[in-house]
Structure 1
Amino acid sequence: MATPISPVFSSDELTFPHLGRFARFLLDNHLEELAAEFLRLFREVKLPMLVFFESMPEEQILQLSKQTSARLLTAFIENRVVENIETTLQSWAQTLLPVIGRNQIATNEIALVSYVRKQALVNFLNRYTRDAEELVALIREIDRYILELDSRSMKQYISLLNRDINEQLHFNEKLTDTSPGIIYVFDLIERREVFTNRKIEPILGYTPEEIRDMGENYLETVHHANDIPRILAHFDSFVNLEDGQVQTFEHRMKDKSGRYRWLRNYESIFRRKPDGSPWQIIGLALDIEQEKQSTQLLEEKQNFIQKITDAAPAIIATFNINSGQYQFISQGFELLLGHSPQQVLDEGIAFLLAILHPDDLPRLMEENARALEKANQMPESQVQVSEFQYRMRHRNGTYRWFRTFGTVFDRNPEGNVEHILNISLDITEKVEAEHKLEEKNRRLEQSNASLQEFAYIASHDLKEPLRKISTFGERLLQTQRGRMDPEGDTYLEKIVEAAHRMHRLIGDVLSVSLISADQTFKVQSLQVLVDEVLETLDYQIEQIGADIRTDQLPVAPVVATQFRQLFQNLLTNALKFSRKDSPLQVRITHRFLSASGELPAGLSPARRFLELTIADNGIGFDNRYAHKIFAIFQRLHARKDFEGTGIGLAICKKIVENHGGVISAKGVPNQGATFTIVLPA
Structure 2
Amino acid sequence: MTQRKDDIIFSAAPDFARFIYNNHLAEYIRYEIRTSRNMNIPLWEKYSDISDEDLIAGSSKYFADFLLSVAENRTSQNLADGLKNYREDLMLHVTRDQLTSEDLLLTHAARRRTLFHFLERYTQDPNLILQIVRELEIIFTNFGVSSTNTYVEILNKRVEEEKSINEKLFNTSPGFFYLYDLANSRQVVPAERLFKYLGYSRYDYVGHSAFIHEILHPDDKIRAIDYVASLHNIMEGEVRFFEYRLKNVHGEYLWLRSYESVFKWTPGNKPSQLLGVAFDITQERFFGEQIRLKEEELFEAQRIAKIGAYTWDLQNNIVSSYSGTLENLGLKSGESFNEVMSHVHPSDKRLVMEAFGKAIDGKREYEIEYRCTVNGRERMLWSKGKVIHEDGKPRFFRATVMDVTEQQQMLGKLRRSEELYKQAQALNRIGNWSWDLHSDRVQWSDELFNIFDLPTQSEQITVDRYLSFIHPDDRQIRANKLAEQLRNPVHNAYYLRIITAAGNEKILYGQSEVLLDETGKPYKMIGTCQDVTAQKTLEKTLYDRTIQLQKSNASLNVFSYISSHDLKEPLRKISLFGDRLRMLNKDKLDEQSKNILNTMIQSSLRLQQMIDEILSVSRINSDEHFTTTSLQGILEDVLNILEPEIGEKNAIVRYDPLPEIYANPIQMQQLFNNLLSNSLKFARPGVAPVITITCDYPEPAELSEMGLDDIVRHLRIRFADNGIGFQKEYAEKIFAIFQRLHDKSAYKGSGIGLAICREIVAHHGGLITADGVLHEGAVFTIVIPLSPGVV
Name the TM-score, length of structure 1 as normaliser.
Answer: 0.42
Name which structure has the greater RCO, CA cutoff 8 Å, separation 6+: 1
Give the number of the structure whose alpha-carbon radius of gyration is greater.
1
TM-score, with length taken from structure 2: 0.37
